[in-house]
Amino acid sequence: MSSECGKLYVVATPIGNLADITFRAIEILKQVDLIAAEDTRHVKMLLQHYGISNKLISLHQHNEDKASAGLLEKLREGLSIALVSDAGTPLLSDPGMPLVKMLKDAGVDVVPVPGACALIAALSASGLPITQFVFEGFSPRTSSARLAFFSERLMRPITWAFYESSHRVQASLQDMAEVLPLDRQIVIARELTKLHETIVKTTLGEALKLVEQDANMRKGEFVVIVDGATIDKKEPIITPEQEKVLSVLLTECSIKTAVALAVEITGVRKKLLYQAALELEKAKDA
């Protein structure tokens, strides 16, 4: 790629408090030839706050494939571009991946300008182990998909986190309570850096009660963080309810068939159910 080619700057912006932007980010937003924004109306408020007047173009989930090709051409012409999302660090559950992938494949420089990120902010104040963690993006939209989602993560030994919306947070916790132990430690972080910022560390059971009883806990944008499972060979690898389903099936079917049916009924991973089935059969023969 020619040295005349421009650069794409992936710029983190505040997630709530407008003061949470770096000096470097402000300078980049002033200096680039063009700003590609998820929602130009939203970004205009930030730019106006810092006295930045620059050309904006929309890059959102519905147009990013087509828009990315156009931006690549502009970069090849030597223009510099900043990519911003509505809040926080772009690409973390936000548009931009097709553009960055296209530019990397084309040999165009992509420069990160780090800053605010709801996920990292929540983890840093969670009080849960974060030496290792897994980020899951947004949880599934339907109850059946969420039940499977949580079942697959039931025995994960490290901290995991996901984003949730205000209109699904209660249903999401209700589904989680169907699968995970009610004493599992979780953190609910909402409206981070904003006026009504709330970070609650408690058990899943208590968190569900709090969200059900307090309407304010169903407002805003959420990061939900879940403590990893304690690995103890003495503890069952599936819940008592799931074990009961598997036991009934084993009285009528082979292990292979019982496990296959239990996967469909419970949403638990086949490997866990197969291991549990072997343990049940071994206990029966003892």
- Nearest-10 Cα torsion for 246, 247, 253, 254: 80
pLDDT of residue 1: 43
Reading the block at residue 27, the tokens are 């300078």
How far apart, in whole angstroms, are the C-alpha atoms of residue 95 and residue 61? 5
- Please state, as a whole number, how many other Cβ atoms lie within 10 Å of the Cβ of residue 223: 23
185-205 confidence digits (pLDDT tens): 999 999 999 999 999 999 999
Place of tokens 């296959």: 260
| Sequence-ordered list of residues with C-beta below 8 angstroms from that of 13, at least 6 positions apart, any chain | 21, 25, 43, 46, 84, 85, 87, 88, 115, 116
**Per-10-residue mean pLDDT, the chain, length 286:** 80 96 97 94 93 93 89 96 95 91 96 97 97 96 93 92 97 94 96 96 97 96 95 67 91 90 89 83 77
118-143 confidence digits (pLDDT tens): 999 999 999 999 999 999 999 999 99
| Sequence-ordered list of residues with C-beta below 8 angstroms from that of 229, at least 6 positions apart, any chain | 154, 155, 156, 157, 184
* Overall pTM > 0.75: yes
Reading the block at residue 4, the tokens are 């005349």
